[in-house]
Amino acid sequence: MNISGTKVVIIGTGNVGATTAYSLTVQGVCSELVLIDRNKEKAMGEVMDLQHSIEYLNRNTRVSVGDYSDCKDANIVVITASASMEGVKSRLDLLDKNIPIMNDIVDQVMASGFDGHIIIVSNPVDVLSYYVYKRSGLSKAQVIGTGTSIETARLKQIIGERMRVDPRSVQAFAMGEHGDSQVVPWSHVRVGGKSFDDIFEDNAHRFGEIDKDKIVEMTRMAGHEVLSRKGNTEYGIASATTGIIKSILRDENQIITVSTLLDGEYGEHDVYCGVPVIIGKEGVIEVGEYRLTPSEKEKFHESCELIRSYIAKKSS
């Protein structure tokens, strides 16, 4: 791939797309940002609003409304376009509505001559990421779903609040489906390098009893809690998406839990799901394969099987 500059195209200017654009602009992640939406007036409104913020930021990101021809020389295309969540109980229930949307978007992106990285935010992100990977013809390293990156952030925030420490001092991750079957491998949860279980065993008088199942449930339900209160989620997922983009454009080689294709890792094949991966300029460089306990491995397998069953539905 021979691309100069740092250009990001966002397709879909709803709450998530617009907030991702704002996050990228505020942090000065890319030199050029292009917004695409069927509603061009909405896209232009977002662009104008972003342009008006440049005076008070540390970098002059060029923001514009574009079309699919702008994808040709883009480093990254972010897909946030989606059908409405109204009346939908599960992210998986969006699949039938979002497949036609992905058809249209992916075909137009690839027709432009695009050969960069695609980041899928639209739900159900694991199934759609697999679908985009197959339809686009891009390598698995180039097609990345946001996966459980947001659940990982929520999990760390909950643990940090419980222990009264900065969430960034918590080493933990969620994996599997970006949905109800997600898994938290407690055997790999650390705070300041010390295992979670050891901390509570050594400080029982301070922290009291800890209900891991409750923490997992709070992590799983966090998105629903936000949705029920304000009608949408945007800041968390936009920040997670920005983190993935930064790691690619700046070749940071960060470990982030994203949705990627498994090809033997954890004993799983031909499925996209959330796992810790090293992300750099090539996209997904390597899947981090952690040693799971038998119970964790079983739950992870069940989560993969659920995703695979929905992939099979749309492939049949």
CATH number of the domain encompassing residue 88: 3.40.50.720
One domain for residues 133 and 182: no
For residues 2 and 19, give the distance between their C-alpha atoms in angstroms, rounded to a whole number.
Answer: 29
Say if residue 105 is in the same domain as residue 203. Answer: no
* Mean pLDDT computed over every residue of the chain: 93
- How many domains does the structure of the chain reveal? 2
Clarify whether 205 is annotated catalytic: no
Write out pLDDT tens, residues 182-239: 999 999 999 999 999 888 888 777 776 778 999 999 999 999 899 889 988 999 999 9
Helix H or strand E segment including 299: helix 294-315
**In this structure, are 135 and 162 located in the same domain?**
no
- Same domain membership, residue 229 and residue 114: no
Please report which confidence band the pLDDT of residue 302 belongs to, taking 50, 70 and 90 as the band edges: very high
Q: What is the pLDDT of residue 4?
A: 47
Q: What is the distance between the alpha carbons of residues 23 and 32, in angstroms, rounded to a whole number? A: 13
CA separation, residue 29 to residues 36, 46, 116, 273, 278 (Å): 18, 18, 16, 26, 19
What is the domain extent for residue 184?
149-315
The catalytic residue among 52, 178, 205, 224 is 178
What's the sign of the alpha-carbon dihedral 221, 227, 233, 236? negative
Q: Give every strand in the sheet of 190-191, ordered side by side.
A: 170-171, 190-191, 194-195
Q: What is the mean pLDDT of residues 272-296?
A: 97
φ, ψ of residue 137 in degrees (nearest 5): 80, 5
pLDDT one-digit tens code per residue, 66-91: 999 999 999 999 999 987 766 666 67
Q: Is the domain of 97 the same as that of 153?
A: no
- Boundary of a domain, candidates 129, 145, 161: 145
Tell me what percent of the residues of the chain surpass a pLDDT of 90: 83
d(CA 108, CA 112): 6
Q: Which residue has the tokens 């001559």?
A: 113
Claim to verify: residue 204 and residue 289 sit in the same structural domain = yes
Q: Starting from the edge strand earliest in sequence, which strands make up the sheet with 7-11, in order?
A: 62-65, 32-36, 7-11, 76-79, 117-120, 143-145, 254-263, 269-280, 283-287
273, with CB counted inside 10 A (0-12, 13-18, 19+), is buried
Are 193 and 172 contacting, i.e. CB atoms less than 8 angstroms apart?
A: no
Assigned domain for 1 exists: no
DSSP string spanning 17-32? HHHHHHHHHHHT--SE
Q: What is the model's pLDDT at position 92?
A: 78
- 2 within some domain: no
Residue 282 banded pLDDT, cuts 50, 70, 90: very high
Out of 120, 145, 170, a domain closes at 145
Name the residue type at position 171. Q
Domain end call among 145, 166, 194: 145
Cβ(150)–Cβ(292) under 8 Å?
no
> pLDDT digits over 89-137, tens only?
667 778 888 999 999 999 999 999 999 999 999 999 999 999 999 999 9
- Integer-rounded Cα Rg, in Å, for the chain is 19
Location of structure tokens 């790999």: 188
